[in-house]
């Protein structure tokens, strides 16, 4: 159990009582009291999500609506483009896109999802950054947009190969959605926002639901024999196998999207020569990385043995040099692979697939191989 003084300072999601009733082991996370695992344990929760369907509480994330004062959604999109390097104007109604807030040095303030709901943009931001993100939006976009913090909504994720069949019983439109479709939908008669997306590499859905209806909907989903509740532990191992970044670990204010191997998220229209090139914070540095290359890069790493290589481990070019060339930013055991996997930053010259790098673990240099990501093939329904 959490110490009383720590526990009293933590926020709780609308599903807190449900987590406790299900035997969730509660821990502090991003200012919230969250379940790290349930009695089934992290390994079973991870593998169940890969084979069936897992239900995650991600209500600690921030949900924000950007409403254009002009009534024209393209005005909100153009305004948001002043803060992110992505093409927001081109997001069709009913679709969403991955983006990053950047700073003047080209670093990443946060990563987020942006959906076009027709009359407004719907944003989902990280829990640890949501207060700063909202302030950032208010400081920079208040002339063009009304910024509405949707604090009375919960957010749950249903992930795995059986997610579609489970949700179809409650939402007839679920099977027709494709990866990154997003918009208002009825789920079990409740007015929700549903996107076909997630943070596991599996097919699945994220469902924004009014806080008052969250527990009822979660219980209905958990009543399906294909669904298990999943905690933060398995969420982390699933996203690591999927090669997905965790903000504050794999990306932060010191990393650009190019260094982080997120070039795919920056559309040609915002790059040098594009229709709306630049115009976002740090554009000179980020576009310079596109045009001339960056000196380091986030890569996938596989160990030869069974010992996990954890976050913070120093990386070396060989077994004799004393100066590290990089470090591991995420690492652990991959249950789907039955082997350890990691991500980290290395010099671009050492980032080619198959390159051998050495991690220092308990005073020993262990060989790692630069490997393609995702480590486990994604199953998005495109």
> Per residue in 271-285, pLDDT tens?
999 999 999 999 999
CATH level 3 topology of 62-149: Alpha-Beta Plaits (3.30.70)
CATH 3.30.70.1400, the chain: domain bounds = 62-149
On the question of pLDDT at 220 being above 80, the answer is yes
On the question of pLDDT at 6 being above 60, the answer is no
> The whole model's pTM is what?
0.96
What are the angstrom distances between the C-alpha of 83 and each of 77, 264, 277, 289? 10, 18, 13, 18
What would the mean pLDDT of 75-85 be, rounded to a whole number?
98
Question: What tens digit of pLDDT does each residue of 292-339 get?
Answer: 999 999 999 999 888 899 999 999 999 998 899 999 999 999 999 999
What would the mean pLDDT of 142-152 be, rounded to a whole number?
98
Reading the block at residue 376, the tokens are 């486990």
On the question of pLDDT at 267 being above 80, the answer is yes
Closest CA to 244 of 330, 182, 328: 330
CATH 3.30.1360.120, the chain: domain bounds = 4-58+153-239
pLDDT of residue 305: 84
Closest CA to 333 of 195, 209, 203, 241: 241
Cα separation, 62 vs 41, in Å, equals 27
Question: What tens digit of pLDDT does each residue of 24-38 get?
Answer: 999 999 999 999 999
Taking a C-beta distance cutoff of 8 angstroms, is the pair 53, 159 a contact? Answer: yes
Does domain 263-371 match CATH 3.40.50.720?
Answer: no
- Give the confidence band of 221 by pLDDT, cuts at 50, 70, 90: very high
Q: What are the strands, taking DSSP E only, across the chain?
A: 25-29, 32-37, 53-57, 62-68, 96-102, 108-116, 121-125, 145-149, 153-159, 182-187, 190-195, 204-210, 227-229, 296-303, 314-316, 326-334, 339-347, 356-361, 364-371
CA atoms within 13 A on the CB side of 317: 8
What would the mean pLDDT of 200-212 be, rounded to a whole number?
98
CATH level 3 topology of 4-58+153-239: Gyrase A; domain 2 (3.30.1360)
| Mean pLDDT for the chain overall | 97
What would the mean pLDDT of 202-222 be, rounded to a whole number?
98
């Amino acid at each position: 159990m959490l110490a009383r003084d720590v526990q009293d300072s933590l926020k709780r999601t609308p599903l807190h009582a449900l987590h406790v009733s299900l035997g969730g082991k509660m821990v502090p996370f991003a200012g919230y009291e969250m379940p790290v695992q349930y009695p089934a344990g992290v390994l079973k929760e991870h593998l169940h999500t890969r084979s069936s369907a897992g239900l995650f509480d991600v209500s600690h994330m921030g949900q924000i609506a950007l409403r254009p004062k002009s009534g024209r959604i393209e005005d909100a999109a153009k305004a948001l483009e002043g803060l992110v390097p992505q093409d927001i104007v081109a997001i069709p109604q009913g679709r969403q896109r991955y983006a990053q807030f950047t700073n003047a040095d080209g670093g990443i303030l946060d990563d987020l999802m942006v959906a076009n709901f027709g009359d407004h943009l719907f944003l989902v931001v990280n829990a640890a950054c949501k207060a700063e993100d909202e302030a950032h939006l208010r400081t920079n976009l208040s002339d063009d947009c009304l910024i509405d913090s949707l604090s009375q909504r919960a957010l749950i994720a249903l992930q795995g190969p059986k997610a579609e069949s489970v949700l179809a019983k409650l939402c007839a439109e679920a099977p027709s959605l494709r990866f990154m479709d997003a918009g208002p939908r009825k789920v079990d008669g409740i007015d929700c926002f549903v996107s076909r997306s997630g943070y596991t590499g599996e097919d699945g859905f994220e469902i924004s639901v009014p806080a008052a209806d969250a527990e009822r909907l979660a219980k209905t989903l958990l009543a399906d024999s294909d669904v298990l509740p999943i905690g933060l532990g398995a969420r982390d191992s699933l996203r690591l196998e999927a090669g997905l970044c965790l903000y504050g670990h794999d990306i932060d204010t010191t990393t650009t999207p190019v260094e982080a191997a997120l070039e795919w998220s920056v559309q040609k229209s915002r790059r040098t020569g594009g229709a709306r090139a630049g115009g976002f914070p740090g554009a000179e540095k980020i576009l310079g990385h596109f045009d001339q290359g960056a000196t380091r890069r986030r890569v996938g790493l596989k160990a030869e043995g069974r010992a996990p290589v954890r976050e913070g481990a120093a990386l070396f070019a060989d077994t004799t040099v004393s100066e590290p060339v990089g470090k591991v930013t995420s690492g652990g055991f991959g249950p789907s692979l039955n082997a350890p996997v990691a991500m980290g930053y290395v010099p671009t010259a050492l980032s080619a697939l198959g390159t051998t790098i050495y991690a220092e673990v308990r005073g020993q240099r262990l060989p790692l191989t630069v490997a393609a990501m995702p480590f486990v093939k994604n199953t998005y329904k495109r």
